[in-house]
Amino acid sequence: MAFLFYLAFCVLVGGLAWRMVTYARTPAPLKIPTTPAPTTVPGVVFRMAREVLLFESLFKANLWIWGFGILFHFGLVLVLARHLRYFTDPVWGWVVLIQPFGIYGGMVMVAGLAGLWVRRLAVERIRYISTPSDHLMLLLLLTIGISGLSMTFGSHPDVVGVKRFFEGWQTFSPHPLPDSALLVLHLMGVAVLMIIFPFSKLLHAPGVFFSPSRNQVDNPRERRHMAGWAARFDKETPHG
């Protein structure tokens, strides 16, 4: 299991870095911010923050997806924060404080995922355009969420043992994982998620920052927009 997590970690970090380099290098030859767009850089930062934190464009597009999406993502933030207790020693003060909220976050997250899946299955035209990967991704996230909640409310694993396992993992001195089928299911799910992350639709997380229609300033008259390759071409062949 420790080995699987080394592998998953490397695939996640390496894969994401590779994807982001690709995104950053992709030319954006046109000035195409979706209007109305901010005309200053701080304005764009503010717009991007609204997009990333509140899913503004999704709110305007579809309230149902936005609602379930917000539930899932905000729940996930709390859940991830709660899980920091396994990776820090001593546990940070604010992580200790938000422990109970992490549990609520878990419930909210699973509710959001269930809502998103019901929508995919119940709305006929959404079902028609759903691919197996759409369904499997929700299934994977739900498996992780439900197995996690089952350990909180049903069969507790040895959390001290779990933390020792991950401390050993961080210092390259592996510890055995406590016996618990739910724990193994949970961790396998997380490892699979980490491995497929750089090759899946989950790339919307880094991708949103590279979206030209959102990250461009609306100033085409003040400053001429040139892609790098086009600028070079401009210099090499002077116009008559």
Partner 1 sequence: MKPLCLLGRILLVIGCCLVLPAGAHDAMPPLDIGQGGKCVDDPGFMRLNHMKLLLQQRDETVRLGVRGGRYSLAGCVDCHASKVNHSVLGTDRNFCQGCHTYAAVKIDCFECHSSHPRPAMESRR
Residue 175 as a binder of partner 1 (CB under 8 A): the answer is: yes
3-state secondary structure 218-233: CCCCCCCCCCHHHHHH
Task: Work out which of 58, 130, 134, 167 binds partner 1, going by CB under 8 A.
Answer: 167
Task: Work out which of 129, 173, 235, 236 binds partner 1, going by CB under 8 A.
Answer: 173
Q: Which stretch binds partner 1 (CB under 8 A): 47-55, 117-125, 174-182, 212-220?
A: 174-182
Query: Residue 137 Cβ, how far from partner 1 at the closest point, in Å?
Result: 18
Query: Residue 7 Cβ, how far from partner 1 at the closest point, in Å?
Result: 5
Task: Work out which of 36, 42, 90, 154 binds partner 1, going by CB under 8 A.
Answer: 90
Please enumerate in sequence order all residues whose Cβ is within 8 A of that of 159, keeping only pairs 6 or more positions apart, or say none: 86
- Interacting positions 1-20 with partner 1 (CB under 8 A): 3, 6-7, 10-11, 14
Do residues 37 and 219 lie in contact, with contact meaning Cβ atoms separated by under 8 Å?
A: no
Please enumerate in sequence order all residues whose Cβ is within 8 A of that of 57, keeping only pairs 6 or more positions apart, or say none: 34, 51, 214
**Count of residues of this chain found to bind partner 1 when the rule CB under 8 A is applied:** 28
Q: How far apart are CA 159 and CA 86, in angstroms?
A: 8
Residue 85 as a binder of partner 1 (CB under 8 A): the answer is: yes
Q: What is the DSSP letter of 130?
A: -
**Per-residue tokens: 180:** 């618990």
Nearer to partner 1, 186 or 214 (CB): 186
Half-sphere exposure of 112 (CA within 13 A, CB side): 20
Site string for partner 1, 203-232 (x = CB under 8 A): ------------------------------
Do residues 87 and 136 lie in contact, with contact meaning Cβ atoms separated by under 8 Å?
A: no
Do residues 10 and 196 lie in contact, with contact meaning Cβ atoms separated by under 8 Å?
A: no
- Interacting positions 93-112 with partner 1 (CB under 8 A): 95-96, 99
Alpha carbon of residue 88 to chain centroid: 22
Residue 38 as a binder of partner 1 (CB under 8 A): the answer is: no
Nearer to partner 1, 10 or 227 (CB): 10
Q: How far apart are CA 160 and CA 164, in angstroms?
A: 6
Task: Work out which of 41, 123, 156, 207 binds partner 1, going by CB under 8 A.
Answer: 156
Q: How far apart are CA 214 and CA 32, in angstroms?
A: 8
Which positions lie near partner 1, rule CB under 8 A?
A: 3, 6-7, 10-11, 14, 85, 89-91, 95-96, 99, 156-160, 163-164, 167-168, 172-176, 199
